[in-house]
Structure 1
């Protein structure tokens, strides 16, 4: 077997990944420092600024509160919040969000645009990058506003709010993957894979795998990235096989079939235990938030005057950061084992180890995968086994 990379290619890949490894090492400390800065220094200025801005907007646009449609919306928001003041809460959350985005923007631009272009991994134009960044910020602002109104509003009005919110949220979490085929279309155009031999081969493969699906679509990610990618989105009646246009350009039909076979292995995974565990974890996390909010109210942290004061929001983000950071290595262990099992499933389904090996090799070369990343990086949260390990597990071709 030929070497995965030439020495020159390997040196370039190591140089490309080194900044990411440095970032992985220092980012938890930077995040903790950011939370400490917000909670210890900036929280009260942000809150006073949100109060002043909300008061100015309320005075400036007072007439809109009595407009035929808007007065119904304002009244509903007042009832949801439990009293006037939801404007201050939303603005406070947005101020904190904006500060974090501005603080991280140099690193985000470097890793998302500069470094990717330097090593030939990105097709982003400055305008496209700015538009996608704006979409992300808009979605984040919407999510923050919904979090403030939903979680804090309910917590202020219902004693066991964590149970009232947690149970339906857990049920929604169980079926949330039904919406997966539509999420990525916010950023990328998709079109059905044209009729022809490739579609027929994939359809035949899915019949052998007993995987029903709605459609095979091509996602035009080349406007952003030069990486190849395939995934299954949705479940049941919405399950969609998605291939990006880079994959169609870089891989042969046999290699694309091998990649789809790997993804079909994930369909046969026993997902319900994990989903049920995630649902229980969500309810437990909301209960922990309730305890934290009550502790903050009892001790008057940050000048809070009542339960579920919006000034505790950075504490909730800190709690979420700690939970996800500490749980990432554990969840990554299970993820890597699922990927190994999907590789074994694909090899059994296709009976073509040569095509599967070529697919992995091309993916490694196109996506500039480090064949042997530092062990601590893998343990910290690698979702896939290193590509060198995956290649070593492929049976040799007779």
Structure 2
């Protein structure tokens, strides 16, 4: 049986992944240090800056408070926040977000642009890279605004805000969030239906055997930024869509595309409700813990807080989120890797063609430069997929 990589390919892959492993080991420590710095040293200066900036803006644009259109707009924010002062809160939270963005920007450019180009994995042009980076920053700022008004604003106005916020969001996670998945990719990539032909016919027949209904099969033009192959299912029920990127259609044979989609079909047949219910309950519990943290901070004056749901506790919430994801990341990764193995087994039962399935995995590993044997600590830290070498070995066993 042919090896996955030649010695030259393997050496290049190890060189490519080494900086990523260093980053994976170092970034959590950097984040922890930055959050500690934000809580212990920079919290007060940032808050003073936010209050001073908000006061200057309020004086300069005071006419907006009485203008017919903007008056209504600003009153809506007053109501969402539970009074005045939301400007300083928003500036404070956005300042923290942008600080992390600026500090990590050089590393992000190196890893997502320079390193990817150096090893032939990226087709990003500088302007498109900057455009997508700007979209990412804008989306991050929108999430921060949702945090300020949706969490802090609600907590200031409603006693059991964690139930009022947590239950609807949990229900949304259970029923609706996955249905909008097919539309997220369109923010960054052009999509068009897969043209009629043998491949579309074979995919339709494959999914009929798997008893999976779907709305469409689309091709996502990711080759404008990357040379990686990709296939996935997006959405649920009436919005379920099979997404193939244009690279996989160029690099894979029709049989290998079928094998890749068969693997993704295995994920569709997973029992998702236990995980979704557990995630929804965990969200409500996490919001309750945040409520306890906000109340404890207010009662003891931590971080300079003077009232419940003081915006100065944002770094503490970031630290809490960091600790939760660090602790539960390995557990989540272990479950995810087992699901990948089960999806492989499902694909083999569905296609009955282990030879083509192995060829698909080998080609994906070569095109995407997957490390067949990453450091064990990296796997246990929370890798969502098993090492490609282990996956290939598993399907090769009788």
Query: Same fold by TM-score, threshold 0.5 exceeded?
Result: yes
Q: Secondary structure at the match of 2:338?
A: helix
* 1:68, distance to aligned residue in structure 2 (A): 2.0
| Structure 2 CA distance for aligned equivalents of residues 330 and 84 of structure 1 | 43
Task: Extract unaligned runs of 5+ from structure 2.
Answer: none
Q: Say whether residues 1:205 and 2:206 are aligned partners.
A: yes
- 1:196-255 Cα offsets, whole Å, 9 max, x none, are 000000001010000000000000111111100000000000000000000000000000
Q: Say whether residues 1:265 and 2:252 are aligned partners.
A: no
Worse-superposed segment, 246-255 or 99-108? 99-108
| Structure 2 CA distance for aligned equivalents of residues 30 and 144 of structure 1 | 21
Aligned to 2:76: 76
Q: Secondary structure at the match of 2:218?
A: strand
Aligned to 2:65: 65
* 1:82, distance to aligned residue in structure 2 (A): 1.2
Q: Secondary structure at the match of 1:191?
A: strand
- 1:18-47 Cα offsets, whole Å, 9 max, x none, are 011111111111110010111111111111
| Structure 2 CA distance for aligned equivalents of residues 387 and 266 of structure 1 | 17
CA RMSD of aligned residues (A): 1.0
Alignment of 1:24-173 (within 5 A): 24-173=24-173
Alignment of 1:223-372 (within 5 A): 223-372=224-373
Are the counterparts in 2 of residues 228 and 246 from structure 1 also a CA contact under 8 Å? yes
How many aligned residue pairs are there?
A: 397
* 1:79, distance to aligned residue in structure 2 (A): 1.5
TM-score (norm: length of structure 2): 0.98
Task: Extract unaligned runs of 5+ from structure 1.
Answer: none
Worse-superposed segment, 359-368 or 385-394? 385-394
| Structure 1 CA distance for aligned equivalents of residues 64 and 82 of structure 2 | 21
TM-score (norm: length of structure 1): 0.98
- 1:180-210 Cα offsets, whole Å, 9 max, x none, are 0001111111010011000000001010000
| Structure 2 CA distance for aligned equivalents of residues 380 and 26 of structure 1 | 13
* 1:66, distance to aligned residue in structure 2 (A): 2.0
Aligned to 1:376: 377
| Structure 1 CA distance for aligned equivalents of residues 202 and 377 of structure 2 | 40
* 1:396, distance to aligned residue in structure 2 (A): 6.9
| Structure 2 CA distance for aligned equivalents of residues 314 and 253 of structure 1 | 50
| Structure 2 CA distance for aligned equivalents of residues 40 and 174 of structure 1 | 38
Are the counterparts in 2 of residues 353 and 396 from structure 1 also a CA contact under 8 Å? no
| Structure 1 CA distance for aligned equivalents of residues 298 and 397 of structure 2 | 64
Q: Secondary structure at the match of 2:395?
A: coil
